[in-house]
Amino acid sequence: MGRKTKNCSFPSCRLPAVSLAVWLGALLVLSGCGGKDHSLRVGAALYTQDDTFISAMAQNLEGIVREAESETGKKITLFIADGKSNQSTQMDQVDRFLARGCDVLCVNLVDRTAAAVIADKAEAEGVPLIFFNRQPVAEDIQRWDRIYYVGADAKESGALQGALVLEAWEADRETLDRNGDGVLQYVMLEGEPGHQDSLLRTEYSIKAVTDGGVEVEKLANETANWNRAQAAARTAQWLEEFGEGIEVIFSNNDDMALGAIDALSNMPRSRWPLIVGVDATAPALEAVAAGQLYGTVHNDGIGQAQAMMALALALWNGEDPAQAVDLWEGHYVWLPYRAVTLENLEEFLAE
Ligand code: GAL
Ligand code: CA
């Protein structure tokens, strides 16, 4: 019953060449789907809830579901599963969502190479699938016309982060270029290896600085897996090795930037390098306010959650998703990044 109710609400469901009215009438009787009297069930699978940005996204989704319920007067049930960084755990969770009759799946992949298997499961059940935050390759997104990706362009976040550093260098080179050699010495705290946000932020942040005509020297780079404690440990090592030779700490996300700040906490502020992150999480905004973090790049988790819910509702109602969200190439919703410093911090604190 759950299955029928689901399928008949989507235009993609293939009806034999019998009068549409006859079929619709029969389906109404069989499944009661015309009245949409069952609740919308959304299953959201997270790669791990032990990630500041992702757990905030889960909260955003919960909040937006409540808003959507009161706006539409429809009951919406949101199931959230924590994949605990294990792809086979996440596979089981996806199977369970499908068995429970979820109408839409939202998947934050543990391992992006698992996208095809999940896509095929969803298609076999006729359940639309929204990937988010961890972007599958284009071929996997194109496997079926009901597969979407909601996220933000990693290159853009890197470029904005680099632009912040370039601006700071241009505005106050005397202070930033501690050894006065005209070259910007930096270290890079990287997110998970192979994650496009790690790769592209690392590349495009530095590109923005060098495109701005500043010569750079990389002292060290290492992964800290998006994690604050790991980043604190790496930074502590680098401080031993390079001391005040580090002029800028680039971090692929805010949690790792906060880890760097933890490692610096015993050093007088006047001797700290400049630190930049990405995400604009609540604790990172506090660190900007306290002058510890020079800047960050706002990763719009609320916008992403809103887009996911708008898509889910449109698909469930059998409406054209392109009317509900800004859809690029029929599959993608891109939310813009925005740079944050002390100057425009107020706008973000208000959110
Ligand atoms: C990034 C975010 C990181 C981490 C990662 C997980 O977009 O900046 O903090 O949450 O996603 O995939
Ligand atoms: Ca220098």
> What pLDDT does 351 receive?
77
Cβ of 82 less than 6 Å from ligand 1: no
Separation of CA 158 from chain center: 14
For 205-233, how does the pLDDT look when each residue is reduced to its tens digit (9 = 90+)?
999 999 999 999 999 999 999 999 999 99
Torsion from C-alpha of 176, 182, 185, 191, nearest 10 degrees: 80
Q: Is 134 in the pocket of ligand 1 (CB under 6 A)?
A: yes
Q: State if residue 149 touches ligand 1 by the CB under 6 angstroms criterion.
A: no
Distance between CA atoms of residues 103 and 41, nearest Å: 5
**Of 53, 344, 146, 276, residue with least CA distance to 131:** 146
Most distant CA pair in the chain: distance in Å? 81
- Calpha distance 221→193 (Å, rounded): 12
Residue 16 confidence (pLDDT): 38
What is the position in ligand 1's atom list of the atom closest to the CA of 134? 12
Q: Which ligand is nearest to the CA of 109?
A: 1
Q: Does the Cβ of 150 fall within 6 Å of ligand 1?
A: no
For the Cβ of 198 lying below 6 angstroms from any atom of ligand 1, the answer is no
The tokens of 237 are what?
Answer: 């090592």
pLDDT at 38: 81
pLDDT at 37 (0 to 100): 56
d(CA 167, CA 238): 25
8 A C-beta contact, residue 152 and residue 300: yes
Q: What is the mean pLDDT of each run of 10 residues along the chain (351 residues)?
A: 34 37 38 54 97 96 96 94 98 98 98 96 98 96 97 98 98 96 98 96 98 98 98 98 97 98 94 98 97 98 97 96 97 98 95 77
Tell me the CA–centroid distance for residue 292 and ligand 2, in Å.
20
Q: Is 226 in the pocket of ligand 1 (CB under 6 A)?
A: yes
* Neighbouring residues of 268: CB distance < 8 A, sequence distance ≥ 6: none
Q: Which pLDDT score is estimated for 223?
A: 98
Q: How far is the CA of 171 from the centre of ligand 2 (A)?
A: 15
State the DSSP code for 256: H
Spacing, Cα 255 to ligand 1 middle (Å): 9
54 C-beta closer than 6 A to ligand 1 = yes
Which residues are 107's β-sheet partners? 45, 131
How many angstroms does the Cα of residue 197 sit away from the middle of ligand 2? Answer: 27
Structure tokens belonging to residue 328: 């690029």
Helix (H) or strand (E) holding 97: helix 87-99
- Looking at residue 10, its pLDDT comes to 32
Report the atom number in ligand 1 closest to the C-alpha of 252.
Answer: 8
Q: Which of 59, 109, 133 to mutate to test the pocket of ligand 1 (most atoms within 8 A of CB)?
A: 133
pTM, rounded to two decimals: 0.88
Give all strands of the β-sheet with 104-107 in edge-to-edge order: 76-82, 40-46, 104-107, 129-132, 147-151, 332-334
| Å from CA of 334 to ligand 1 middle | 15
211 alpha carbon to ligand 2 midpoint, in Å?
Answer: 17
Classify residue 204 by burial, with Cβ atoms within 10 Å: 0-12, 13-18, 19+. buried
What is the sign of the dihedral through the CA atoms of 157, 163, 166 and 167? Answer: negative
Q: Determine if ligand 1 sits within 6 Å of the CB of residue 53.
A: yes
- Cα–Cα distance list, 122 to 59, 205, 232 (Å): 25, 37, 40
Residues 6+ apart with CB under 8 A from 131: 106, 107, 108, 109, 115, 141, 147, 148, 149, 150
* Polymer length in residues for the chain: 351
Give the pLDDT score at 350: 82
85 Rama sector, left if φ>0, alpha if ψ -120 to 50, beta otherwise? left
Which atom in ligand 1 lies closest to the alpha carbon of residue 254? 9
> Ligand 1 center to residue 115 CA distance, Å?
18
Place of tokens 């990937």: 131
Q: Does 153 contact ligand 1 (Cβ within 6 A)?
A: no
The whole-number pLDDT of residue 170 equals: 97
CB of 133 within 6 A of ligand 1: the answer is yes
Ligand 1 nearest atom to the CA of residue 151, by list position = 7
**The pLDDT value given to residue 282:** 95
pLDDT at site 156: 98
| Ligand 1 atom nearest to 51, measured from its CA | 10
User: How many whole angstroms from 186 Cα to the centroid of ligand 2?
Assistant: 9
